[in-house]
Amino acid sequence: MKLTNMEERIHILHGQSTTWSVIKDIVSSNNQEDAFYVCDVGDIIRKHKIWKAMLPRVEPFYAVKCNDNLVVLEVLNALGTGFDCASKAEINKVMGLGVSSDRIIFANPAKPASHLRHAAEMGVGLMTFDSDTELHKIKKLYPDARLVIRIRSDAVDVQCQLGNKFGCDANLEAPSLLALAAHLDLEVVGVSFHVGSGCREPAAFNRAIRAAKGVFEQAQRLGYNLSLLDIGGGYPGGKAESIQQI
Ligand SMILES: *Cc1c(COP(=O)(O)O)cnc(C)c1O
């Protein structure tokens, strides 16, 4: 194949093209001076299809921090996914593509006040928390937010553990946090967890969902009727592993 129009950001390739042959073509075209990035957009679409087939009741929200390349975000936007944003900059980037606020979750349980104020301005109301500090902050800056309590439930075998940074204990901390949320008259709508990135232990999801169920029941006793379970990340993204087991 020949890359003739370097202005085009997406190229439809035919025949025997591989990532490597594309890179070589770009280099040998002699008009690429800057560093460049090659991405197989078809792979994103394939994975989205697999996700919908395997987990039809789960609406995917793409974690922008994984790769915030514009082409990646635009393709996901076209596929109709939601977006998981961790900061003001990520919210702006996604909304700049025309994504509406109801397709975004501000999934950072420890938000700087200025970012929280920005979320309120943009109407990004769905957000996570895992501490009393965060609840007081939200009460002050965005009292109408719809809250998701993040619990900790770590997989044993993961590439990158996140539980050492995020998530409250489902038994020891969640009850008092939910009680505080109720006392502050805040709206709690769901529970979230993240077993850790690159999870190699499918049973971890079973454990986490079981723990989340307990939190749903605690919330119910406080008069909440939770309707959202955010099953986090950690799903295999490579070609070799399979999402089937999970
Ligand atoms: C990073 C992140 C994800 C995605 O995690 P992966 O391990 O990359 O799949 C999902 N939810 C939250 C809150 C995250 O921070």
- CATH at residue 94: 3.20.20.10
Q: How many domains does the chain have?
A: 1
Encode pLDDT of 164-212 as tens digits: 899 999 999 999 999 999 999 999 999 999 999 999 899 999 999 999 9
Contacts of 53-59 with CB under 8 Å at 24 or more apart are: 54/243, 54/244, 58/231
- With both helix axes pointing from N to C terminus, report the angle between 41-54 and 70-79 in degrees, rounded to the nearest 10: 40
In this structure, is residue 88 part of a structural domain?
Answer: yes
Q: According to the model, what pLDDT value does residue 1 have?
A: 44
Quote the CA–CA distance of 116 and 138 in Å, as a whole number. 7
For residues 45-59, one letter each, b for 16 or more C-beta atoms within 10 angstroms of the residue's C-beta and e for the rest, the string is: eebbeebeeeeeeee
Is position 243 within any domain?
Answer: no
Name the pTM for this structure: 0.92
3 state DSSP class of 131? coil
Between the ranges 5-9, 50-54, 145-149, where is the mean pLDDT highest?
A: 145-149
Give residues with Cβ within 8 angstroms of 222, minimum separation 6.
178, 179, 182
Q: Is residue 246 part of a domain?
A: no
CA-proximal residue: ligand 1, atom 11 (nearest) = 232
Q: Is residue 240 part of a domain?
A: no
Residue 1 lies in a domain: no
Res 242: pLDDT: 75
Whether 109 lines ligand 1, by a CB cut-off of 6 Å, is no
Query: Domain range spanning residue 193?
Result: 37-230
- Cα angle 144, 148, 153 (rounded to 5 degrees) comes to 165
Residue 188, SS3 per DSSP: strand
- The verdict on the CB of residue 233 being under 6 Å from ligand 1 is yes
Average pLDDT, the chain: 93
Give residue 94 CA to ligand 1 midpoint distance, Å.
Answer: 16
Domain assignment of residue 218, yes or no: yes
B/e letters for 204-221, b = 16+ CB within 10 Å, e = fewer, are: bbebbeebbeebbebbee
Q: State the average pLDDT over residues 38-66.
A: 94
Rounded mean pLDDT, 27-48:
89
In a domain, 29, yes or no: no
Distance 1 CA to ligand 1 centre (A): 36
